[in-house]
């Protein structure tokens, strides 16, 4: 039931702070100890490489997961689009462990990979929002996202739930393998900060609607750019805008733009930069300048500690690794308001279904 909300998507965006709290309550003790199946953690610890498999938004959540598993648990991690992996499997390590990210648990492309993984006898984990879904039944282990039903076709709370759960899992693994960075990472406190930060952003709806009207409503092309983890969020931000507003939008590694794609920038093209990582903040700012010099209308989404006068949207500070949980929220709302004010059916964009059960 969407209650007083005009569309499920907005309700689901608003639910994200609670989803963060629910995940912390479910998977962490009051003191932050992980409440996760020991056998699962041991099976992951025994692996020499993690393979994250997903499609669309779930693939994008995997791109953040790679950073979390590598930083916190020091386990090399690859992320693959399921429809590609199924038919062109990369060379595998000796002891692979597979993580399937799938909100619905029914995506045929991802299931095809799991069938092959099971045939080969490799251990696997499905992270899903739907208990007893096909991929949850067929994997060795399952963890539930506890995000509540996601009805809008455009995925929002499942993306942030997947990232938060990957962070909890990476922290637990890192502690098991004795990584100091994991021991010092107070995940319980961080998820609390994330929940509060998300709330502050969803409380700024008017501002985001205004930004959408000013910069996105009348355009047919846009860019989100960033480096590293900000690049990964750019891909998700662009997908959100594409699928519900039908604006052609690319998520781009900001340094790569000048190697060709910058030719697409015209007078007024919106280029939105994510700046949440200290070591690349200056670089992304100069890449934004380069687009501005070609006529782009630039906007910045910046974490507080890196913000300067004139930044367009300032995000509360949480650990750098968890900034995607905050930076994606304004992008979800920009997509929402653009779709809404174009008079489109936000929850049911054309040509799309909620779960894609064909390959």
Site for ligand F6R in 153-182 (CB under 6 A): 154-155
Site mask, ligand F6R, residues 6-45, x = CB under 6 A? ----------------------------------------
Q: How far is the CB of 254 from ligand F6R (least distance, A)?
A: 23
Q: Which of 20, 24, 55, 323 binds ligand F6R (CB under 6 A)?
A: 55
Shorter beta-carbon distance to ligand F6R: residue 126 or 254:
126
Helix, strand, coil percentages for the chain (3-state, nearest 5): 50, 15, 35
Q: Which residues contact residue 264 at a Cβ distance below 8 angstroms, ignoring those fewer than 6 apart?
A: 221
Segment interacting with ligand F6R (CB under 6 A) among 52-60, 84-92, 167-175, 277-285: 52-60
Distance CA 88, CA 187 (A): 36
- Interacting positions 66-85 with ligand F6R (CB under 6 A): none
With contacts defined by CB under 6 A, how many residues of the chain interact with ligand F6R?
15
C-alpha distances out from residue 196 to 8, 276, 300, 313, 315, Å: 22, 17, 21, 16, 11
What residues numbered 86-145 form the site for ligand F6R, per CB under 6 A?
102-104, 107, 110
Counting contacts by CB under 6 A, is residue 234 touching ligand F6R?
no
Which residue, among 266, 287, 280, 162, has the nearest Cα to 224 in the 3D structure? 287
DSSP class of 259: G
Q: Closest CB to ligand F6R among 57 and 245? A: 57
CB of 130 to ligand F6R, least distance (A): 8
Check residue 92 and give left, alpha or beta (phi > 0: left; psi -120 to 50: alpha).
beta
The smaller minimum CB distance to ligand F6R, of residues 58 and 276, is found at: 58
Indicate the residue whose CB is closest to ligand F6R. Answer: 56
- Identify the DSSP state of 254: T
Nearer to ligand F6R, 134 or 276 (CB): 134
Report how far residue 166's alpha carbon sits from residue 266's, in angstroms, rounded to the nearest whole number.
39
Residue 57 in the binding site for ligand F6R (CB under 6 A): yes
Q: Is 207 one of the catalytic residues?
A: no
Read out DSSP for 180-235?
Answer: HHHHT--HHHHHHHHHHHHHHHHTTHHHHHHHIIIIITT-SEEEEEESTHHHHHHH
Tokens representing 314?
Answer: 């300032």
Nearest distance from C-beta of residue 270 to ligand F6R, angstroms: 20
Q: How far is the CB of 190 from ligand F6R (least distance, A)?
A: 24
From residue 352, how far is each of 44, 153, 244, 338 by CA, in Å? 35, 7, 10, 18
Closer residue to ligand F6R, CB minimum distance, 163 or 288:
163
> Least distance in Å: CB of 235 to ligand F6R?
11
Q: If we measure between CA atoms, which residue out of 64, 325, 285 comes closest to residue 202? A: 325
Q: How far is the CB of 57 from ligand F6R (least distance, A)?
A: 3
- The b-or-e profile of 112-142 (16+ CB within 10 A means b, else e) is bbbeebeeeebbbbbbbbbeebbbbebbbbb
Q: What is residue 34's DSSP assignment?
A: B
* Selected range binding ligand F6R among 12-20, 49-57, 179-187, 213-221, rule: CB under 6 A: 49-57
355 binds ligand F6R (CB under 6 A): yes
Min separation Cβ 197 and ligand F6R, Å: 22
Q: Which positions are catalytic? A: 354
Residues found near ligand F6R in the complex (CB under 6 A): 55-58, 102-104, 107, 110, 154-155, 239, 243, 355-356
């Amino acid at each position: 039931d969407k209650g007083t909300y005009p569309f499920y998507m907005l309700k689901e965006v608003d639910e994200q702070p609670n989803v963060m709290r629910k995940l912390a309550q479910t998977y962490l003790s009051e003191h932050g100890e992980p409440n996760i199946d020991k056998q699962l953690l041991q099976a992951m610890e025994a692996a020499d490489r993690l393979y994250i498999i997903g499609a669309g938004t779930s693939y994008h959540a995997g791109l953040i997961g790679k950073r979390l598993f590598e930083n916190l648990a020091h386990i090399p991690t690859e992320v693959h689009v399921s429809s590609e992996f199924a038919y062109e499997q990369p060379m595998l390590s000796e002891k692979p462990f597979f993580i399937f990210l799938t909100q619905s648990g029914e995506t045929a492309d991802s299931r095809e990979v799991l069938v092959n993984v099971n045939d080969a006898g490799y251990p696997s984990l499905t992270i899903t929002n739907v208990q007893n879904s096909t991929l949850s039944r067929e994997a060795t282990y399952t963890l539930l996202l506890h995000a509540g039903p996601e009805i809008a076709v455009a995925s929002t709370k499942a993306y942030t739930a997947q990232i938060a759960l990957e962070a909890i899992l990476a922290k637990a693994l890192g502690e098991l393998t004795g990584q100091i960075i994991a021991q010092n990472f107070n995940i319980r406190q961080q998820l609390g900060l994330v929940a509060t930060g998300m709330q502050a952003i969803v409380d700024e709806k008017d501002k985001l609607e205004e930004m959408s009207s000013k910069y996105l409503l009348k355009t047919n092309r846009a860019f989100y750019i960033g480096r590293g983890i900000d690049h990964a969020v750019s891909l998700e931000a662009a997908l959100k805008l594409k699928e519900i507003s039908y604006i052609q939008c690319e998520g781009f590694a900001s340094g790569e733009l000048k190697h060709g794609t910058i030719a697409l920038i015209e007078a007024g093209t919106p280029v939105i930069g994510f700046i949440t990582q200290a070591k690349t903040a200056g670089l992304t700012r100069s890449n934004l300048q380069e687009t501005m010099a070609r006529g782009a209308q630039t906007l910045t989404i910046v974490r507080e500690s890196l913000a300067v006068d004139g930044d367009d949207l300032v995000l509360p500070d949480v650990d750098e690794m968890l900034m995607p949980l905050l930076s994606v929220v304004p992008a979800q709302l920009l997509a929402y308001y653009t779709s809404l004010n174009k008079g489109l059916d936000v929850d049911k964009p054309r040509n799309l279904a909620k779960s894609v059960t064909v390959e």
